[in-house]
Amino acid sequence: MQISVKTGHGQVEVHTARRTDKRWSSDYRYVPHHGTPTEWTSAYSPEGFLSEGMALNAGILMAKELAQQRDAQRHTTKAGKERSVQRAPPP
In tens digits, the chain (91 residues) has pLDDT values of 899 999 888 999 999 999 999 999 999 999 999 889 999 999 988 899 999 999 999 999 999 999 998 888 876 765 555 555 555 555 5
CA distance 68 to 57: 17
In a domain, 89, yes or no: no
Amino acid in the structure at residue 58: A
For residue 21, the model assigns a pLDDT of 95
Give the chain's domain count. Answer: 1
In a domain, 83, yes or no: no
CA distance 34 to 21: 39
Beta bridge partners of residue 5, listed in sequence order? 12
For residue 34, the model assigns a pLDDT of 87
In a domain, 80, yes or no: no
In a domain, 84, yes or no: no
In a domain, 49, yes or no: yes
Range of the domain at 12: 2-74
In a domain, 81, yes or no: no
Helices H, strands E: what count in the chain?
1, 4
In a domain, 9, yes or no: yes
For residue 74, the model assigns a pLDDT of 75
pTM: 0.75
In a domain, 82, yes or no: no
